[in-house]
Amino acid sequence: MREKVIAWLKENVSEHRLQHILGVEKMCEDLAIHHKIDPKKAAQAGLMHDLAKFFPPPKLLEMAKKEYNEIDPVCLANPHLLHADVSAIVARDTFNITDEDILNAIRHHTLGNPEMSDLSCLVFIADALEPNRGNTPELEKMRKISYKNLHKSVQKTCEYSLQYLIKNSKTIHPRAILTRNWALHQVKARS
């Protein structure tokens, strides 16, 4: 299965993106072992999280519209955000993934989702923090948090992404804020 997915990725994403994907796969597996989450499921979700990363916007919109009755206006204006949902569609339809926890982890890797599972938290975090993302002191600090507290790590990852979006005048999807507030609440409730 892994070889089949990698062969498909080699045809459909850049070499640079493939390295990122393999970095996410490895970090998902490492974090899963550490947090006692199924490492096989985590690695599979990591390997398949960006399947649709290079699909052109019309294809993303077409596939998402076929799957969902409605596409929210932010995604309609920024179809690239749909690559997470469409990657889950490809994982299901091309690679026969039926495990909803894996499919949700793929779906939620960009914006997160309030109430997301620990597996989804892992993929969300690893997507932002895998080693190819860089070695700034801020990222290193966030990597340490990812091994200590999953929800705190989601909160910090959200805040890091939101700051990037504001600094670069990019659209913020409201779900990214809902995810951050949910993670913050989880941290407070569990401490």
Where do contacts with Fe ion occur on this chain (CB under 5 A)? 50, 127
Q: Which of 103, 101, 120, 99 is nearest to 186 (CA)?
A: 120
Which one, 135 or 188, has the nearer CB to Fe ion? 135
Q: How far is the CB of 21 from Fe ion (least distance, A)?
A: 7
Q: Considering the complex, state which of residue 95 and residue 187 has its C-beta at the smaller distance from Fe ion.
A: 95
Residue whose pair of structure tokens reads 């890797």 in the numeric block: 109
Give the Cβ contact number of residue 154 at 10 Å.
27
CB of 78: closest distance to Fe ion in angstroms? 13
Q: Between 37 and 126, name the residue whose CB sits nearer to Fe ion.
A: 126
Min dist. Cβ of residue 55 to Fe ion (A): 11
Nearest approach, Cβ of 190 to Fe ion (angstroms)?
A: 27
Alpha-helical runs (H) found in the chain: 2-12, 15-35, 39-48, 57-67, 73-77, 83-95, 100-107, 118-129, 137-148, 150-167, 174-190
Whose Cβ is closer to Fe ion: residue 85's or residue 127's?
127
